[in-house]
């Protein structure tokens, strides 16, 4: 188990680093998108190559950061029933879902993605749009992205099993802490209460000024 935990930490470091690199693609996508919009609106010109580069960047953001997102518990969860169960039961559900839903689906997409990329690469497929880009880099993102997701899922699985065996911490980062949504709700509630209190005090202040 200790070897698997070391491997899990290695996988996590790789996904963390890739996630930080991919974050710069968000800035690049914004710049390219804004440049395309400005060129078309004010100069009446545009480029299919730059437009497709924008699509490629969006694809890279979502696919290459999938493992990073799983590592940081950023995927959407519907835990209406699971939250009422014990933590060990919740982690057991994580193991079941990872083994029978996440991993099979991710492996299938990755396996099907490699031939799609290879065919595009060997034929040097080019976009059908005038001035478009070559297609194989975009198709390569699919198997690589799901490969990173599979690695992150295996890492998560190891951490879940270690937790159930009493050999590791809670596998979900920040589980015991307040979530971002709960923090935002508490902040909005505090602001509303402060505004209500301010409004309640206003008539008394006006009355004091008139007297």
pTM of the full structure: 0.77
Residue 200 pLDDT exceeds 60: yes
Query: What is the average per-residue pLDDT within 184-202?
Result: 77
What is the distance between the alpha carbons of residues 124 and 136, in angstroms, rounded to a whole number? Answer: 7
Question: Where are the chain's structural domains?
Answer: 2-177, 178-211
Greater confidence (208 vs 79) lies with 79
Q: What is the pLDDT of residue 211?
A: 47
Span 79-106, pLDDT tens digits: 777 778 888 888 898 899 999 999 999 9
8 Å CB contact between 156 and 73: no
113-144 as b/e: b if 16+ CB within 10 A: bbeebeebeeeeeebeeeeebebbebbbbbbb
Span 128-164, pLDDT tens digits: 888 889 999 999 999 999 999 999 999 999 999 999 9
Q: What is the mean pLDDT of the chain?
A: 85
């Amino acid at each position: 188990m200790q070897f698997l935990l070391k491997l899990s930490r290695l996988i996590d470091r790789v996904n963390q680093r890739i996630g930080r690199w991919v974050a710069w693609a968000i800035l690049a996508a914004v710049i390219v998108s804004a440049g395309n919009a400005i060129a078309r609106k004010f100069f009446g010109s545009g480029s299919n190559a730059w437009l497709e580069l924008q699509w490629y960047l969006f694809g890279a953001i979502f696919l290459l950061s999938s493992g990073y997102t799983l590592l940081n518990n950023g995927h959407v969860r519907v835990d209406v029933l699971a939250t009422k169960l014990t933590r060990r039961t919740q982690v057991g559900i994580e193991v079941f879902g990872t083994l029978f839903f996440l991993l099979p689906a991710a492996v299938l997409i990755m396996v099907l993605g490699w031939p799609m990329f290879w065919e595009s690469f060997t034929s040097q497929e080019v976009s059908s749009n005038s001035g478009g880009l070559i297609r194989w880099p975009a198709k390569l993102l699919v198997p690589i992205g799901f490969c990173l997701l599979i690695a992150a899922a295996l890492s998560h699985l190891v951490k879940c099993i270690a937790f159930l065996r009493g050999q590791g911490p809670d596998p979900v980062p920040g589980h015991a802490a307040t979530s971002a949504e709960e923090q935002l709700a508490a902040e909005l509630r505090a602001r509303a209460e402060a505004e209500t209190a301010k409004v309640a005090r206003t008539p008394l202040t006006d009355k004091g000024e008139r007297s």
